[in-house]
Amino acid sequence: MSLLKIDNIHVYYGAIHAIKGVSFEVNEGEIVTLIGANGAGKSTTLNTIAGLIRPRSGMVSFEGKPLHKVTTAKTVSHGMALCPEGRRIFQQMTVKENLEMGGYSRPAKEIPASIEEMFVRFPRLREREKQIAGTLSGGEQQMLAMARALMSKPKLLMLDEPSMGLAPILVEQIFEIIKELHAAGVTILLVEQNAQMALSIADRAYVLETGTVSMSGNADDLLHNDAVRKAYLGS
């Protein structure tokens, strides 16, 4: 069943037509990835789904309900979480406070147990519990951003460039965690510049090119597609 459905959305930044009629869907239990070059509209698409940007036309629906007119804050209580590009953790708050904020939409009494779950999944965060988040390393900040997004218990987790600026070993660690989350039943929509890694863990993929979907299909097929290899995998 399709959990998230994007139907022909058009997004403008002033006069610039950034997304020109993108449609795709994410089914429950899948990992779907959007790949594409810088400026193709990947982050814009995610931000539109999360309600941070409004589409001029088109539909975003989640579990069959239209979402494109709902505020970002409400999309969270519908079961969507976006882990934004550049992490955007609250630098001046402690690690624990960041996690608490992630659970803002949930009843306060459920929060400590969820924080404990995150500490089990991300042991490094437990060590840093009382530290100011701005002092964490890049990898730790990415983990915190993901844990913070998971604190809302989302049905759909959207990750925007989780590997950005990380050393290869950390990138592998982050992708391991994405696989674990998927195995635990979270549906994932992943935006990545590291197309190789993204395609290797995804079920399906969409290739974005200057605001339109230029190709789509099984991640495996795209991984072996000549055009994709040439354009995005560098071989």
Which residues sit at the interface with another protein, rule CB under 8 A? 50-52, 71-74, 76-77, 81-82, 84, 86, 88-93, 97, 100-102, 104-105, 108, 148-149, 152
Give the Cα separation of 18 and 8 in Å (integer): 13
Choice between 165 and 217, CB closer to another protein:
165
Choice between 99 and 202, CB closer to another protein:
99
Choice between 57 and 71, CB closer to another protein:
71
- Amino acid found at 93: M
Minimum Å distance from CB 225 to another protein? Answer: 33
What tokens appear for 26 in the block? 């994410």
Give the Cα separation of 112 and 96 in Å (integer): 10
Give the Cα separation of 84 and 123 in Å (integer): 22
Contact present, 211 and 18 (Cβ < 8 Å): yes
Choice between 93 and 233, CB closer to another protein:
93
Residue written as token pair 């990898």: 139
Minimum Å distance from CB 149 to another protein? Answer: 8
Choice between 108 and 169, CB closer to another protein:
108
Minimum Å distance from CB 70 to another protein? Answer: 12
Is the dihedral angle over the CA atoms 6, 7, 8, 11 positive or is it negative?
negative
Minimum Å distance from CB 143 to another protein? Answer: 16
Minimum Å distance from CB 132 to another protein? Answer: 11
What tokens appear for 106 in the block? 């949930």
How many C-beta atoms lie closer than 10 Å to residue 185's C-beta?
A: 9
Minimum Å distance from CB 133 to another protein? Answer: 10
Least Cα distance to 189 among 33, 23, 1, 28 occurs for: 33
Least Cα distance to 21 among 9, 13, 11 occurs for: 9
Choice between 19 and 157, CB closer to another protein:
157
